[in-house]
């Protein structure tokens, strides 16, 4: 926030407080009596309202709220860039909460830190912790059951785009992944896209009519085999999926496969390194257990 806007906010806040105080005192009745025969001067469907003074308790309540507001603005942020006398910020509050949580849960995570991932994947307590970590950080994309959805891979099967070993899973979690399926429309043209899509579907055992499979195979060997391999079995090092099974991240219909070839795909798996080594270790074990359960 710039100094101008900080000063603008401070000016508006202080001015409004001052005007409220003036309004309360300016409209306060000076009579000691709590009643009067005077009216507000208006008639509402034959009903007139007495211009009685504000009850003392109500007046004092207004004053108390103003005093509270002034004290609050002095102690905590609220006046532009002024941090308050206590120096409180949401960042320091968050850091304090994280520190308390670390002190509370660090011994639990430390118990699993030196265990191999395969052993952690067999520990019921660790899996319960991993499930909660997954629900908090991963389920928004992969689903609460880890079965994924369109564009988000299922983690509850034995098919892995980037590899399913403990080290590969951990690398995926720590560093994230970025898909890089290029668009081939300008290279292949409409006929080439259609024939190549038909050939790709053919690799997984799906039948496609009105396509030239030989031409599609030639296109595949020219532009696709560098990543997916000459047999279409994929390459985990590049994140190129196996095209010979029935697992389709973006759909297997002719239209969907052509769309993938024509425009490419750019899926993104965000890095989770902020969770820390201990949590990554348990989360790796949990994801590994999902695949083992599916086998």
The domain spanning residue 140 has which CATH number? Answer: 1.10.760.10
Q: Do residues 260 and 190 both lie within one domain?
A: yes
In a domain, 49, yes or no: yes
pLDDT at residue 170, as a whole number: 96
Q: From the annotation, which residues make up the binding site for heme c?
A: 138, 141-142, 181, 224, 227-228, 269
Q: Do residues 203 and 257 both lie within one domain?
A: yes
DSSP character string of 186-246 = HHHHHHHHHHHHHHHHHHTT---SS--HHHHHHHIIIIIHHHH-TTS--BTTTTBPPSSSS
In a domain, 81, yes or no: no
pTM of the predicted model over 0.85 = no
pLDDT at residue 109, as a whole number: 87
Q: From the annotation, which residues make up the binding site?
A: 138, 141-142, 181, 224, 227-228, 269
Average pLDDT of adjacent 10-residue blocks, the chain of 295 residues: 90 94 80 63 77 81 94 92 88 89 86 92 94 95 94 93 95 94 95 96 91 96 96 94 94 96 94 93 96 68
pLDDT at residue 245, as a whole number: 93
In a domain, 40, yes or no: yes
- Rounded Cα gap, residues 208 and 204, in angstroms: 11
In a domain, 158, yes or no: no
- Residue range(s) defining the domain that contains residue 58: 3-75
pLDDT at residue 184, as a whole number: 96
In a domain, 160, yes or no: no
In a domain, 48, yes or no: yes
Q: Please give the tally of structural domains in the chain.
A: 3
Q: Do residues 12 and 57 both lie within one domain?
A: yes
């Amino acid at each position: 926030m710039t100094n101008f806007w900080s000063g603008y906010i401070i000016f508006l806040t202080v001015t409004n407080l001052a005007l409220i105080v003036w309004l309360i005192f300016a409209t306060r009745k000076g009579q000691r009596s709590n009643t009067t025969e005077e009216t507000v001067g208006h008639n509402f469907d034959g009903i007139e309202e007495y211009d009685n003074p504000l009850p003392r308790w109500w007046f004092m309540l207004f004053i108390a709220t103003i005093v509270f507001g002034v004290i609050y603005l002095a102690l905590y942020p609220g006046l532009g860039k002024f941090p308050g006398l206590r120096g409180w910020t949401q960042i320091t509050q968050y850091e304090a909460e994280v520190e308390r949580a670390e002190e509370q849960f660090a011994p639990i995570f430390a118990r699993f830190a030196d265990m191999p991932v395969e052993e952690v994947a067999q520990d019921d307590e660790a899996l319960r912790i991993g499930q909660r970590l997954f629900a908090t950080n991963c389920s928004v994309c992969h689903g609460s059951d880890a079965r994924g959805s369109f564009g988000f891979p299922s983690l509850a099967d034995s098919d892995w785009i980037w590899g399913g070993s403990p080290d590969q899973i951990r690398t995926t979690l720590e560093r994230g992944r970025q898909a890089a399926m290029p668009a081939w429309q300008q290279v292949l043209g409409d006929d080439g896209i259609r024939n190549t899509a038909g050939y790709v579907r053919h690799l997984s055992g799906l039948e496609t009519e009105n396509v030239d499979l030989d031409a599609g195979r030639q296109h595949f060997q020219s532009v696709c085999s560098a990543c997916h391999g000459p047999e279409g079995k994929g390459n985990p090092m590049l994140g190129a999926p196996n095209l010979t099974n029935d697992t389709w991240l973006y759909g297997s219909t002719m239209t969907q496969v052509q769309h993938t070839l024509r425009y490419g795909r750019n899926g993104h798996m965000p890095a989770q390194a902020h969770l820390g080594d201990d949590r990554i270790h348990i989360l790796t074990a949990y994801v590994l257990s999902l695949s083992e359960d599916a086998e």
